[in-house]
Chain A
Amino acid sequence: MSFEFITNNRFLLNFKKYKYLLYELIKKNIKLTYRRSSLGLFWTFLSPLLYTIVLTIIFSTFFKRSIENYPVYLLCGRLLFDFFSNGTKTAMRSLKSAGIIKRIYVPKYIFPLANVIGNYVMFLVSLSVLVLLVIVTGLNLTWNGFFVIIPFILIFLLTLGVGLVLATVVIFVRDVQHLWGVFTTLLMWGSAIFYPVTTVPEKYRFLFDINPVFNAIDMVRNSLMYGIPPTSFQILYVFGFSMVFLIAGVILLYKYQDKFILYI
C-alpha cells in the first residue's frame, strides 16, 4: 500500500498541479490593481508618462547641463525602482493576507511568486512608455542597447528574492512592514532616480555602488543612453545579491511554512 505523506515533500513537487493557481493569482493581482478605474490597465502606461512629464518640467532646469536626455534618464530609474518597490511590498503582504491557507492546503511560495510576476507583467507593459520616449526624444540607440535585457532579468530575481524573505519574516515580526516602507523611501533617494550621481559628494558615492537597485538602473541607463555594455562586475554583484536573498527566501519559507497558519 503506497501512502502519500500529506505534509512532507510537497514544496515543489506539486508545481504542475498548482500552475493554474499561479496563473489565476497573477491575473488577480493585475486585475485588482486597477479595478473600478475607468482607464484600467492603461494607467500602467499613463501614470509613468504623466510622472515623467511633471518631473521633467520641474527638474530639467536644475540638471540641464549634467543630464542630456532627462525624460529617458528619469524613466529608466523610475520604472525599475517602482517595480522593485511595488513587487517587494505586495509580495510581503501576500502571505499575511492569504487567509485561504487556513482552510485548504496550498503551497505557500505561490503567493509571493504570483505577486512579483504580476508586478513584472505590469512593468513590462509600462516599458512601452520608455520605448515611446526613446523615439520621441530621438535618442541615438546603439546595438549595446540590447544589453538592457540583463538588468531587466536581474531586477526580477532581486525583487523575487527580497520579496520571499520579507513575506516570511513579516508574518512573525509585523514591525518589518512599517520599517520596509521607510526603507524603500531611503532606497529611492539612494538610487539616483531624478538626479545625477555626480551631484553626490565623492565620499558618499560608495552607498550607490553597494545598492543593487541603483546598479540595475545604472546598467539600463548605460546601455540604453550611452551605449556602454554593463560591466561583468556589476552583473555579478547584482546577481550574487539576488541569489543570496533568493536562497535565504526559499530556505526561510521552507523551514517556517508549517508555522504560518498559527500566526496569520
Chain B
Amino acid sequence: MGEKVVEVKNLSMKYNLAKEGKISLKNYFKKVKNRELLFQEFWALEDVSFDVEKGDRLAILGLNGAGKSTLLKAIAGVIKPSKGTVKTKGKIVPLLELSGGFTGSYTGRENIFLRGAMLGFSTKYMEEHFKEIVNFSGLKDFLDVPVDNYSSGMKARLGFSISTVVNPDILILDEVLSVGDAKFKKKSFSKMMNLIENNDTTVLFVSHSISQVKELCDKAILLEKGELIMKGNVEEVCEKYEEIVNS
C-alpha cells in the first residue's frame, strides 16, 4: 500500500476550563483545597490513534464537541498535543476558519501578500500567482478596499483562494465547503476535486453533510466525546454516524 503521510499516535488534548477566573495565589489554593483543579480539566481528545496513507481521503465525523476541529488543529500544527504525537509528511494546507485572521485596515491586495507569507510562500511566488488568486476569488474590483469593509462571504472567498494556490500534499478542510454563495461553493468544490485528483492529495475532511462526505471521501473515522469509536470504509462509518444522529 501507499506510504503513511499522517501518523497520529495516542493523541490526547487537554483543555483547562478553569482559566476563566483570576490568576491569583488565593484562588489557586482555594481550588487545591476544594480539589477543583482535577475536575476542571476537559479532555477534548483521548488516546486517538490512526494513520493516513498517501492519497487517502479521510472524513472525520462526529457531533458538535466531539473533538473534530481540535484533531485537525493538532494535525495542522496549530496546537501541540498534551500527550501523544502527530507526525506528518509533506506540505500541509489547512483550511480552517477561512474568513478570520485578516488585517482589517489592510486592503485585499495587501492581505493577499501577508497571508501568503504566513503560509510560508515567497513574495515572488505570490506575485506570480497573484492574478490566479484574484480571478478565482472574484474580488478584482475590491482589491484596494480595506478588508474591514468586506462581507464575511468575501473574506472567506479570499481566504480560500489564497490557501489553495499551492498544490498541497495534505489538505485539511474544516467545513469550508459551506463558504460563500452557491456559485462559489460549486466553484470551490470543483477546485478541490481538481487538487485532489491531479496530485494524489491526501485529504482530511470535516463536515456535517453526509452527502458531501460520501462524494469526496473513501475512508472515515468517527469521534464521540473525544474518543475514536470507529474507523474504516466511508459507507460503514456513515451508517454508524447516522445511527448516532438519529438515536
Contacts and interface: CB of A to CB of B under 8 A. Distances in A.
Nearest to A100: B101
A105 B23 contact: no
Interface in A45-95: none
A258 B100 CA distance: 20
Contacts of B48: none
A254 interface: no
A98 to B, nearest CB: 9
Contacts of B3: 1
Contact of B118 (A5, A106, A261): A106
A4 interface: yes
A27 to B, nearest CB: 8
Interface string A4-34: 1111001000100110110111001001100
A204 interface: no
A262 B88 contact: no
Contacts of B76: 104-105
A103 interface: yes
Contacts of B244: none
Contact of A23 (B15, B81, B117): B117
Contacts of A6: 75, 77, 86-88
Interface string A150-183: 0000000000000000000000110000000000
A35 interface: yes
Interface of B: 3-4, 7, 15-16, 19, 23, 73, 75-81, 85-89, 94, 96-97, 100-101, 103, 105-106, 110, 113-114, 116-123
Given A3-B89, A24-B117, A102 B105 contact: no
A143 interface: no
Contact of B121 (A20, A32, A102): A20
A20 B117 contact: yes
Given A6-B87, A24-B113, A103-B96, A17 B101 contact: no
Nearest to B103: A28
A149 to B, nearest CB: 30
Nearest first, the 5 A-B pairs at minimum CB distance are A258-B80, A100-B101, A21-B117, A105-B77, A3-B87
B247 to A, nearest CB: 33
Contact of B19 (A10, A23, A262): A262
A67 B110 CA distance: 47
Contact of B106 (A32, A103, A262): A32
Nearest to B81: A7
B96 A24 contact: no
Nearest to A32: B105
A99 B6 CA distance: 26
Interface string A94-123: 000001111111100000000000000000
B105 A23 contact: no
6 contacts: A4-B88, A24-B113, A24-B123, A99-B101, A102-B73, A258-B79
B101 A7 contact: no
A2 B78 CA distance: 21
B171 to A, nearest CB: 14
A263 interface: yes
A263 B15 CA distance: 11
